[in-house]
Chain A
């Protein structure tokens, strides 16, 4: 494919016997994915090319554009006359017999069969299937006939539309907006995409027939650039037969400047883009005119955007489009969520009243199976990460054609990848690793090889959680706790990925209590008790960015834009004071900069705020975006080949010469040079495995609740699932030594050891809540009784450890656990200031404080670099009233400390009976907490494992003696 400023064409290069150069034709369409109706393709013989062009990809000198290889293979010229060449191609995707005629000058490139048939262009639509223009495009009463062209298209493929798809098409044609919820891989894309196609087929405005592609009609927003390419392919599929003149194109941050330029000339009929790229479009003044024909916006994977600032950015963009085009329809596509109604409200904003929520209740069933270890330890501990089940996992991988092995963290993925290769060295090359820190190119390659069926197994993290038409695999493994119900199901959905097919996930526990989690997740799923995602509200950084965006895109009147912004869910409660502050901040930098008239981003011209200079507009466009990336360094070989990125904090702990494991390889650190970590392959087979930050999900509220219910059933002697039967002995031991708490009870165990007095609390609320709770209890207790306390938290409970006695009576515990004064106490006990300072990183970038790099320069000029923490300090010192600081503190409370969840937990606990048990030694529930504390004390991992193993054995012996 050769892209130039004028457009794209495709070069066909053929070797000819007895000649070193390659006979070359310029084709007007892409022969690899040209729809049937495009054949034959106009072809023009051009000057022969040198053989090196067979392999070449990239820029062509002299500004003649770029070339990219789209297919390769062997070619033989079978009949070689001056006028007509018959060519046999065996390519990776394009194969068959073709005719080039005439072989010189302008002519055509045709498949032998289509050339014979002599039907150069066909719409592919059955004549009877086209609905006669009836002028009913937006009518409320709509005959079933209207769906016929699409029904026929389905029939030709041997498919039948699902009822939710028909409902979606009818709703679309009736002018409605809404949200479609269906599990992965059941045809959500077609459920929305056929709507505008049907509308076009039924209209008389020449949107399907006639000449030239129609202007922009459909905007398709996708959360991930990686998904965008798949979406384009999925949308293009029905076009050949239904609307051959429609075009679908991509526009993301990766889109080449040539394509951007072409899109500035003419937008495609459907544009696939990301929330950030939509914002960039909105920052151009002529976008409004170019969007005049827009009928609808589809937001794919809306559940991924909901609950993030990118979701807020999408809401603002949609509000803008709706104010231009009041008839605009908005449809979201979402996987299973606990708050679908709210999800739709957020998507549709103030127009939610009219929304249509469509659910696909399909027979696609998900099975949750568990590998149950032969032997269950009485005192379970995490850390050996389920590798004991490796041989069973290896057997299953061997028996299947393709396997995805999901882990919760990137370090776990590295460990499992290494373990698989140690078990089966002959799998080298057919087992691959995929996680978010690997280089994009490596990940793409893994995805391609998986799609091509060339990989037996991919060990991956949440990096493979998403994907529209991801190739289904035979089986899916989940290593360790599922953490959430929706997450486990999404992963299960990676297998049997066709409508109606069964999907299945096999869970591998990392320690015995995870068996309870798997049983709990299955039960919750059967009851459809899936997690909700809380939408972000009042994010002033995103608003400030949006104001500059709109200012650059033609300007705005303050009041009109304020009202528009308030139609979104995120800002429906925006106060006038907050609006005024955001506007002043966006325009002139806020009240403290009033004295600096030379500083202005927006200026007021005739009642409209507009961007001050074109340079500022260009700078702003580069900075648009709300996803932040951590300070990460590139890992590359001495030769320059990139392997991926790694967090600075990990590399900071290594010295040159140290060996670590990354991207499935053992590497030796050579040096850190600027932002690049230079490495060499190491001979050692093991090394330190990096721990990436931010990968530790806590147990979701829903799953935690389901776990409490499983334990409660066990308490009543009901062990229904195989997982629960496997841990029965363990739970019975817990009951004998201490107790199994009922759902309305809080178990507090006290124990003594040579370390001091221990108190273990088991609220089963997830690690983040327990961390906050532990800090809170420790602070409140030391206020009464000055002493030194050590706290530890896991997903199940928390431990307080002190050299002095800990509270023993119920009244004291009640007082420590009160929900009253929570916020103040939290602020006092946790270093909220430090946390807010760190939280400021995202905010600073979104609000435009951190300058983006310029094209050609990877980072901005050195004298304009400053870290977000430094900005935080400068604001705190010289502009304390800056609302962005306030926002950072609020985000820390809500997102990091989960203050809402913590308050809910305290309120629940206040209604619980307290079960105070003095156990004397560690119970099976307390043991993992003890082990976790030991781990935090930074012993080397061998020493840690040894000590935990010894302790586990000792406790087991004691328990056996007593029994």
Chain B
């Protein structure tokens, strides 16, 4: 766990690839991509199952550890329609049963148009933006942020080097008015970002949080670009 203050709020980064907001007892998670391996199997690609179960177990662990009363999903809970097979939905329903008292809200992401029975799963839909003053939560980060915004969608990842070796891992990224969450799903890729001075990047590598300090400024280096 790594505590930090951002936009005047105390926040906790969890090695489960989730962010906990104590004042609102809310756990923030983005890009779970439930049923991704199932979507691949449906297309004839032999990917082993287990990603969804493993993701749900990790989500349970984060909920228990923090005692969160709310789970805010920042989009892309589901991966694709073809991945929402019976087994996947059953697993999701069973998991929901284990956390019946937690309020779950889904902000819609670009992958979520899958006709999943959100109502039956007890998941409320919040549309595209959820305003929880002072933070604004959404899926895809906007072009410009005048207000502190937490988003996902980008699947940020960063590289740390140690000598000749390097490790690339998902990360949290905090800019001035925009924070990006790592993709929660185990079967998700990442898009490399590079930290500039004044930004904070925290890597999640094998269950550990590692903060990387940006190098001194070099003129004109690329900023993390949000899609």
Quick one: CB contact mask for A642-673 with B, threshold 8 Å, 1 for yes? 00000000001001111000000000000000
Quick one: CB contact mask for A896-911 with B, threshold 8 Å, 1 for yes? 0000000000000000
How many Å from the CB of A768 to the closest CB on chain B?
15
A871-B41 Cα distance, complex, nearest whole Å: 13
A592-B48 Cα distance, complex, nearest whole Å: 6
Quick one: CB contact mask for A551-585 with B, threshold 8 Å, 1 for yes? 00000000000000000000000000000000001
Our pick among B36, B49, B79, B80 for the contact of A878 (Cβ within 8 Å) is: B49
Instruction: List residues of chain A with CB within 8 A of the CB of B43.
Output: 851, 864
Our pick among A652, A863, A874 for the contact of B51 (Cβ within 8 Å) is: A874
Our pick among B44, B189, B192 for the contact of A866 (Cβ within 8 Å) is: B189
How many Å from the CB of B192 to the closest CB on chain A?
7
Is A657 a contact of B220 with CB atoms below 8 Å?
yes
Instruction: List residues of chain B with CB within 8 A of the CB of A882.
Output: 48
Instruction: List residues of chain B with CB within 8 A of the CB of A596.
Output: 41, 49
Instruction: List residues of chain B with CB within 8 A of the CB of A590.
Output: 46, 48
Our pick among A601, A615, A619, A658 for the contact of B46 (Cβ within 8 Å) is: A601
Instruction: List residues of chain A with CB within 8 A of the CB of B192.
Output: 652
A590-B37 Cα distance, complex, nearest whole Å: 14
Determine if B187 is an interface residue (Cβ-Cβ < 8 Å): yes
Instruction: List residues of chain A with CB within 8 A of the CB of B80.
Output: 863-864
Determine if B226 is an interface residue (Cβ-Cβ < 8 Å): no
Determine if B101 is an interface residue (Cβ-Cβ < 8 Å): no
Is B165 a contact of A864 with CB atoms below 8 Å?
no
Given contacts A655-B221, A867-B189, A878-B49, contact A599 B37 (CB under 8 A): no
User: Please, which residue of chain A has its CB at the minimum distance from the CB of B83?
Assistant: A863
How many Å from the CB of A281 to the closest CB on chain B?
21
Determine if B45 is an interface residue (Cβ-Cβ < 8 Å): yes
Is B39 a contact of A864 with CB atoms below 8 Å?
yes
Given contacts A655-B222, A877-B54, contact A593 B165 (CB under 8 A): no
User: Please, which residue of chain B has its CB at the minimum distance from the CB of A595?
Assistant: B49
A326-B67 Cα distance, complex, nearest whole Å: 72
Interface contacts (Cβ under 8 Å), in number, total 90
Is B49 a contact of A866 with CB atoms below 8 Å?
no
A592-B44 Cα distance, complex, nearest whole Å: 15
Give chain A's interface secondary structure class. Answer: loop
A263-B122 Cα distance, complex, nearest whole Å: 58
Is B187 a contact of A834 with CB atoms below 8 Å?
no
Is A877 a contact of B186 with CB atoms below 8 Å?
yes
Instruction: List residues of chain A with CB within 8 A of the CB of B37.
Output: 874
Is B79 a contact of A863 with CB atoms below 8 Å?
yes
How many Å from the CB of B61 to the closest CB on chain A?
16
Is A599 a contact of B46 with CB atoms below 8 Å?
yes
A596-B51 Cα distance, complex, nearest whole Å: 14
Our pick among A593, A831, A848 for the contact of B49 (Cβ within 8 Å) is: A593
How many Å from the CB of B38 to the closest CB on chain A?
8
Is B39 a contact of A878 with CB atoms below 8 Å?
no
User: Please, which residue of chain B has its CB at the minimum distance from the CB of A874?
Assistant: B187
Quick one: CB contact mask for B50-91 with A, threshold 8 Å, 1 for yes? 110010000000000000000000000001101101000000
Interface size on A, residues (CB 8 A): 37
A16-B197 Cα distance, complex, nearest whole Å: 72
How many Å from the CB of A572 to the closest CB on chain B?
27
Is A655 a contact of B40 with CB atoms below 8 Å?
no
Is A849 a contact of B47 with CB atoms below 8 Å?
yes
Which B1-60 residues have a C-beta within 8 angstroms of A?
36-37, 39-51, 54
A595-B37 Cα distance, complex, nearest whole Å: 14
Instruction: List residues of chain A with CB within 8 A of the CB of B51.
Output: 874, 878
How many Å from the CB of B227 to the closest CB on chain A?
11
Is B44 a contact of A616 with CB atoms below 8 Å?
yes
How many Å from the CB of B32 to the closest CB on chain A?
14
User: Please, which residue of chain A has its CB at the minimum distance from the CB of B39?
Assistant: A863
Determine if B136 is an interface residue (Cβ-Cβ < 8 Å): no
Is A878 a contact of B165 with CB atoms below 8 Å?
no
User: Please, which residue of chain A has its CB at the minimum distance from the CB of B82?
Assistant: A863
How many Å from the CB of B170 to the closest CB on chain A?
11
Which A714-741 residues have a C-beta within 8 angstroms of B?
none
Which A857-903 residues have a C-beta within 8 angstroms of B?
863-864, 866-867, 870-871, 873-875, 877-879, 882
Determine if B111 is an interface residue (Cβ-Cβ < 8 Å): yes
User: Please, which residue of chain A has its CB at the minimum distance from the CB of B168?
Assistant: A869
A588-B46 Cα distance, complex, nearest whole Å: 7
Instruction: List residues of chain A with CB within 8 A of the CB of B41.
Output: 589, 593, 596, 598-599
A655-B196 Cα distance, complex, nearest whole Å: 13
How many Å from the CB of B153 to the closest CB on chain A?
13
A599-B37 Cα distance, complex, nearest whole Å: 11
Our pick among A656, A831, A863, A875 for the contact of B48 (Cβ within 8 Å) is: A875
How many Å from the CB of B97 to the closest CB on chain A?
22
How many Å from the CB of B87 to the closest CB on chain A?
8
Is B48 a contact of A874 with CB atoms below 8 Å?
yes
Given contacts A870-B187, A874-B37, contact A619 B48 (CB under 8 A): no
Given contacts A655-B221, A658-B220, A870-B189, contact A864 B45 (CB under 8 A): yes
Our pick among A592, A655, A863, A875 for the contact of B220 (Cβ within 8 Å) is: A655
A809-B83 Cα distance, complex, nearest whole Å: 64
Residue of A851, A878, A879 with most partner-chain B CB within 10 A: A878
A619-B40 Cα distance, complex, nearest whole Å: 13
How many Å from the CB of A822 to the closest CB on chain B?
20
User: Please, which residue of chain B has its CB at the minimum distance from the CB of A619?
Assistant: B44
Is A874 a contact of B47 with CB atoms below 8 Å?
yes
Is A593 a contact of B48 with CB atoms below 8 Å?
yes
Is A849 a contact of B39 with CB atoms below 8 Å?
no
How many Å from the CB of B84 to the closest CB on chain A?
12
User: Please, which residue of chain B has its CB at the minimum distance from the CB of A648?
Assistant: B192
How many Å from the CB of A248 to the closest CB on chain B?
36
Instruction: List residues of chain B with CB within 8 A of the CB of A848.
Output: 44-46
Is A834 a contact of B46 with CB atoms below 8 Å?
no
Residue of A596, A851, A873, A882 with most partner-chain B CB within 10 A: A596
A599-B82 Cα distance, complex, nearest whole Å: 13
Which B178-227 residues have a C-beta within 8 angstroms of A?
186-189, 192, 220-222
A84-B220 Cα distance, complex, nearest whole Å: 72
Is A863 a contact of B111 with CB atoms below 8 Å?
yes
Is B49 a contact of A849 with CB atoms below 8 Å?
no
Instruction: List residues of chain A with CB within 8 A of the CB of B42.
Output: 598-599
A482-B220 Cα distance, complex, nearest whole Å: 39
Is A866 a contact of B187 with CB atoms below 8 Å?
yes
Given contacts A658-B220, A863-B111, A864-B40, contact A870 B188 (CB under 8 A): yes
Instruction: List residues of chain B with CB within 8 A of the CB of A831.
Output: 165
In order of increasing CB-CB distance, the 9 nearest A-B pairs are A589-B46, A878-B50, A879-B48, A863-B80, A878-B48, A592-B48, A599-B41, A655-B220, A655-B222
30 contacts between A and B (CB under 8 A): A588-B46, A589-B41, A589-B46, A593-B48, A598-B41, A598-B42, A599-B41, A599-B44, A619-B44, A834-B165, A848-B45, A849-B45, A851-B45, A863-B79, A863-B80, A863-B82, A863-B83, A864-B43, A864-B45, A866-B189, A870-B189, A871-B47, A874-B48, A874-B187, A875-B48, A877-B50, A878-B49, A878-B50, A879-B48, A879-B50
Q: What 11 new A-B contacts, CB under 8 Å, besides A656-B222, A851-B45?
A: A589-B47, A592-B50, A598-B42, A599-B46, A601-B46, A615-B44, A655-B220, A656-B220, A657-B220, A863-B80, A863-B111
